[in-house]
């Protein structure tokens, strides 16, 4: 089964919650770019192809012993949710093989214990994430664009904890309600270009993507990957040619895997 990558089409971050996490309003979009995951019962759990501790953690919560094979295609630690997607897909596949599979709500709750964005990968279509990001609501958005992903050369991912700490130091949550309202207004209009920019991370390469023809460009999640949305695949290909000296690139599209 394909475990799709995701981008955050918008990420608005609020104050710290009582549980220590931050309040979020975000828009998740799955992509055709994805890892390949196979899961089958085994005498003991082991992971082949790519060792991913979040997959082990997820399956330990579900119970049972499993053999997992991962063919990795999503860049690691890039802001595309590859580990969370692998965990969710492994959960789905293993759960389907249980004598008494968990119902959807229980599987969602288990996935949320693994990570705030893991439940998204159990859903179909773009989702509005609120709370800590795990409270999901299906949204209707255009899906007829092409995505160019750019992973800058020489840029490494900062830890998520460090990114949030820097956000708190600069009092990034100020004005959260207004930005969240702007996000919802853009969703209501279906205008992806009107979505507010990522609160956690920025990149000058977003400007380069817009100059190359993207109607929206931003950092996904905590970065460092930057995406551009283009009207056509040809437009994205031309931008890729113009920018391929800046880092590794992928061209992909929105996906409906579930």
What positions carry a catalytic annotation? Answer: 6, 117
| Interacting residues of 15 by C-beta distance below 8 A, sequence separation 6+ | 22, 23, 173, 176
- Strands, E assignment, the chain: 2-16, 22-41, 46-48, 66-71, 127-130, 135-138, 146-152, 216-219, 226-230, 247-252
Query: Residue 132, SS3?
Result: coil
Distance in angstroms between the alpha carbons of the first and the last residue of the chain: 10
Q: Pick from 186, 205, 212: which is nearest to 11 by CA? A: 186
φ/ψ of 123, rounded to 5, equals -105, 170
Say how many CA atoms lie within 13 Å of 148 toward its Cβ. Answer: 34
Is there a contact between 252 and 32 (Cβ–Cβ < 8 Å)? Answer: yes
């Amino acid at each position: 089964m394909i475990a799709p990558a995701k981008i955050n089409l918008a990420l608005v971050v609020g104050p710290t919650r009582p549980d220590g996490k931050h309040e979020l309003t975000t828009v998740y979009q799955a992509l055709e770019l994805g890892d390949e995951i196979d899961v089958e019962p085994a005498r003991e759990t082991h992971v082949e192809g790519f060792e991913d501790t979040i997959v082990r953690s997820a399956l330990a919560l579900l119970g049972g012993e499993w053999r997992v094979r991962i063919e990795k295609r999503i860049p690691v630690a890039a802001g595309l949710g590859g580990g969370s997607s692998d965990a969710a897909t492994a959960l789905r596949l293993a759960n389907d093989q249980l004598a008494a599979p968990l119902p959807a709500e229980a599987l969602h709750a288990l996935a949320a214990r693994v990570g705030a964005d893991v439940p998204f990968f159990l859903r179909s279509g773009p989702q509005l994430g609120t709370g800590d990001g795990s409270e999901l609501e299906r949204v209707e958005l255009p899906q007829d664009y092409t995505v160019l992903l750019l992973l800058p050369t020489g840029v490494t991912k900062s830890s998520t904890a460090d990114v949030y700490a820097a956000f708190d130091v600069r009092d990034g949550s100020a004005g959260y309600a207004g930005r969240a309202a702007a996000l919802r207004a853009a969703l209501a209009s279906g205008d992806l270009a009107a979505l507010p920019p990522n609160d956690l991370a920025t990149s000058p390469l977003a400007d380069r993507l817009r100059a190359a023809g993207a109607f929206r460009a931003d950092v996904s999640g905590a970065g460092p990957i930057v995406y551009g949305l283009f009207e056509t695949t040809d437009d994205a290909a031309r931008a890729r040619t113009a920018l391929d000296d800046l880092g590794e690139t992928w061209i992909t599209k929105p996906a409906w895997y579930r």
